Amino acid sequence: GAVVSQHPSRVICKSGTSVKIECRSLDFQATTMFWYRQFPKKSLMLMATSNEGSKATYEQGVEKDKFLINHASLTLSTLTVTSAHPEDSSFYICSASRQDRATYEQYFGPGTRLTVT
Amino acid sequence: AQSVTQLDSHVSVSEGTPVLLRCNYSSSYSPSLFWYVQHPNKGLQLLLKYTSAATLVKGINGFEAEFKKSETSFHLTKPSAHMSDAAEYFCVVEDNNDMRFGAGTRLTVKP
């Protein structure tokens, strides 16, 4: 079945540094990828929709200059948390849309836990 | 580690009839459970969540789910399906700061 990977699975960084998270669709091409963040016991929050070859669409309240999204190819989207602060510590999940057949399917990555110290 | 099983990959109902989407989970601790809906090319939308309060949880759009610890289930129901309910539904379990998604159930609503 289709697989989406995220790298790294866990990362600890110091306040003020930047962190890049990769989301890859391993055996299909994904024209659209979604980025979410989640706090413990809370629901997922959609951050942005990433379309290959175009600028990401950010949800209201999400700082596009802080959370840089690049979807340079049909199998890779990256989320860069710039100048990270402790409040950016969270669980980040990506998902990828597969639409190369008659049906539309969605696959989720395993998530990346970011801790900013 | 926790896991989630959505027992049906595809459910088809007629408009106006009840909806049942099944979800079973395994967890070592006290989990939080969520149901999300996703329409094509849209992000996930939270339907409802269980976080150790009332076992019968009411969500948006007439959906509800009951947490049954003895059966390790968190099935999603709605008394009367609407055409706009046609979408993909995901059951998610969060436990000990880790999250697992079910494979999803595609709901089709026939007129």
Q: Do A93 and B104 touch (CB under 8 A)?
A: no
Q: Does the CB of B59 have a partner CB in chain A at under 8 Å?
A: no
Q: To which residue do tokens 């436990």 refer?
A: B95
Which residues face B100 on adjacent strands?
B93
Q: Do A49 and B43 touch (CB under 8 A)?
A: yes
pLDDT given at position B54: 84
Inter-chain contacts counted by CB atoms under 8 A, chains A and B? 46
A46 vs B contacts (CB less than 8 Å): 43-44
Q: What is the helix (H) or strand (E) element at residue A74, kind and residue range? A: none
Provide mean pLDDT across the span B99-105.
88
Using CA coordinates, name the residue in chain B closest to A10: B98
| Nearest chain B Cα distance for residue A115, angstroms | 12
Q: Which residues in chain A show pLDDT less than 70?
A: 1-2, 100-104
Provide mean pLDDT across the span B13-24.
98
> What is the C-alpha to C-alpha distance for residues B24 and B22, in angstroms, rounded to an integer?
7
Nearest CB partner across the interface for A43, out of B38, B46, B104:
B46
- B39 versus B36: the higher-pLDDT residue is B36
pLDDT given at position B77: 98
Phi, psi (rounded to 5 degrees) for A61: 90, -10
Query: Which of left, alpha, beta for B32 (phi over 0: left; psi -120 to 50: alpha)?
Result: beta
pLDDT given at position B39: 85
